[in-house]
């Protein structure tokens, strides 16, 4: 009974470890659509991405102190807007 109990829990812990490793790999290497890759310090950052439909997407990208709103689709990539990065202070922190 004790040997079987130990065997079941060791398999459980191995499976949980494998699930954790897979979740880390998916996040680290951006294996799911819409998730950015999380590598070390990068100069180019994808801040947010929103799918509009099956073929078109809006993405906010940060690069060299600016944020760019770009649209991408079958016809290519289009710059929609560009702005400088402004430090945002939350209202709760201001008081």
pLDDT per position in the chain (95 positions), as tens? 778 888 998 999 999 999 999 998 887 777 776 665 655 567 888 889 999 998 999 999 998 889 999 999 999 999 999 998 876 555 555 55
Tell me, what's the pLDDT at 34? Answer: 62
Closest C-alpha to 56, from 72, 70, 68, 69: 72
* DSSP alpha helix (H) spans, the chain: 2-29, 91-94
For residue 64, how many other CB atoms are within 10 A of its CB? 7
pTM exceeds 0.85 for this model: no
Residue that is written with structure tokens 């807007």 in the block = 81
* Measured distance CA(48)–CA(34) in Å, rounded: 8
């Amino acid at each position: 009974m004790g040997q079987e109990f130990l065997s079941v829990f060791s398999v459980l812990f191995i499976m949980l470890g494998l699930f954790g490793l897979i979740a880390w790999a998916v996040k680290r290497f951006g294996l799911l659509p819409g998730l950015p890759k999380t590598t070390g310090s990068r100069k180019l950052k994808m801040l947010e991405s929103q799918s509009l439909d099956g073929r078109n997407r809006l993405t906010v990208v940060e690069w060299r102190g600016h944020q760019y709103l770009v649209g991408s689709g079958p016809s290519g990539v289009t710059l929609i807007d560009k702005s400088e990065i402004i430090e945002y202070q939350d209202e709760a922190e201001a008081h």
